[in-house]
Amino acid sequence: MSDNAQASDDSFSPNCVRCPRLAKFLVRSRERFPDYYGRPVPAFGDSNSALLIVGLAPGMHGANATGRPFTGDHAGVLLYSTLYKFGFSNQSSSTSLADGLKLIDCRITNAVRCVPPQNKPKSDEVSNCLEYLRFDLKQVKSGGVVVALGRVAHEAVLKACDLPSRSFKFGHGNLSSIKFNDLNLLSSYHCSRYNTQTRRLTVEMFEEVFENARNIVDRMPQ
- Chain residues in the site for ligand SF4 (CB under 6 A): 16-19, 22-23, 40, 112-114, 125, 128-129
Q: Which is nearer to ligand SF4, 18 or 151 (CB)?
A: 18
Q: How far is the CB of 22 from ligand SF4 (least distance, A)?
A: 5
Q: How far is the CB of 110 from ligand SF4 (least distance, A)?
A: 9
Q: Which is nearer to ligand SF4, 26 or 201 (CB)?
A: 26
Query: The sheet that has 51-55: what strands, in order across it?
Result: 44-45, 106-110, 51-55, 145-149, 183-188, 175-178
Nearest to 157 by CA among 80, 143, 179: 179
Phi, psi dihedral angles at 51 (to 5 degrees): -125, 130
Q: Which is nearer to ligand SF4, 43 or 201 (CB)?
A: 43
Q: How far is the CB of 98 from ligand SF4 (least distance, A)?
A: 24
Close Cβ partners of 161 (under 8 Å, ≥ 6 residues apart): 134, 137, 178, 179, 180, 183
Q: How far is the CB of 114 from ligand SF4 (least distance, A)?
A: 3
Q: Specify whether the CB–CB gap between 96 and 66 falls below 8 A.
A: yes
Q: Which is nearer to ligand SF4, 82 or 128 (CB)?
A: 128
